[in-house]
Copies of this chain bind each other. A is one copy, B any other.
């Protein structure tokens, strides 16, 4: 099944494996006339590239993007934008051993069952490197949304047991620490915790939060194409994500109607909400308040500790996974979450243009 595309109007199609020639993406359906350069893309890729800190894999990759099509005289033409990042540090010898067994917490076993065999080098298609294509596509989506005043704030909300303190929330701090936390003190605690994890040949998970401001009211459709439903798919499609919640999310399940309902009121002649328990959607459509959602990310499954598993011959064995693995996925996944959200929102924004007949008639007048 063709499962490597996301989005219907603005669509990304990703390709490539961890240890193949490169990782790429085709962005199709981008409106014509957007100024776009490789620098725009690179700024997103740099947020997820390896080697940013001691907590990220030491694989040496510049992750330099090359645009192959779709841009003419500095602008998007409306035709597909093909982009590639060539793999340069493909030490596949690191991975040859894992060809024979199934790493716990990884998809190896499922690949063999589903397809009969697998590209075992570095996880192949299930490698985190697959998200390069998402971030490249997300950079375009985010730049497009920026033109309409829609902005993103995405960050690590918790790492292992360390959660940010909202009273210390500082958006400027996000890019100031290697963990993309908006709270310097929490980032420091989290760093200490991560060093402990590494010492113990262990890894940990965390939560990413994304806040989107400036959305017009009415994005998303009332039934299956709810904005939150598409966001949920977008976020759960990222490897290692195990949960999604919008607004109060699981806490809303323990709340009451009186507490959870957001009262409407008038502000500067506009309808607004006094609170935002809903996280910016009502009935699947954006309600004018900031969109707020969270993604739960599991611990990195590749750990150096001894683990039990089986090999392809059906023997039970013990393994120690070698390689250059991050003790935590969260910080590098922050930009991927933002990218998938941006792509989802661009689609909702473009789709929404056909909702009302009078607006359509105006458009073509």
Contacts and interface: CB of A to CB of B under 8 A. Distances in A.
Interface stretch (A46-54, A166-174, A348-356): A348-356
Interface string A204-222: 1111000000001110011
The winner among A77, A115, A315 for most chain B CB atoms within 10 A is A115
A195 interface: no
A110 interface: yes
A78 B113 CA distance: 12
Interface stretch (A55-63, A175-183, A299-307): A299-307
A248 B33 CA distance: 34
B349 A114 contact: no
Interface in A266-302: 266, 269, 271, 274, 278-279, 282-288, 296-302
B236 A244 contact: yes
A299 B2 contact: no
A109 B80 CA distance: 20
A177 B82 CA distance: 36
B105 A262 contact: yes
Contact of A242 (B105, B148, B248): B248
Kindly list the 7 A-B residue pairs having the minimum CB-CB distance in the complex, ordered from nearest: A107-B283, A114-B218, A3-B221, A243-B245, A2-B29, A3-B225, A2-B11
A259 to B, nearest CB: 8
A91 interface: no
B68 A22 contact: yes
A250 B308 CA distance: 25
The complex is assembled from copies of this chain, and their number is 4
Nearest to A82: B15
Interface string A12-45: 0111110011101010110111100000000000
A322 interface: no
Given A75-B117, A147-B361, 19 more contacts: A2-B10, A9-B351, A13-B28, A15-B79, A79-B119, A104-B262, A106-B282, A110-B282, A160-B254, A204-B255, A205-B254, A207-B253, A243-B245, A244-B244, A248-B298, A256-B299, A257-B305, A258-B307, A350-B354
Interface string A341-359: 0000000011111111111
Contact of A266 (B75, B262, B314): B314
A186 interface: no
Contact of A237 (B223, B245, B354): B223
Interface in A292-339: 296-303, 305, 307-310, 314-316
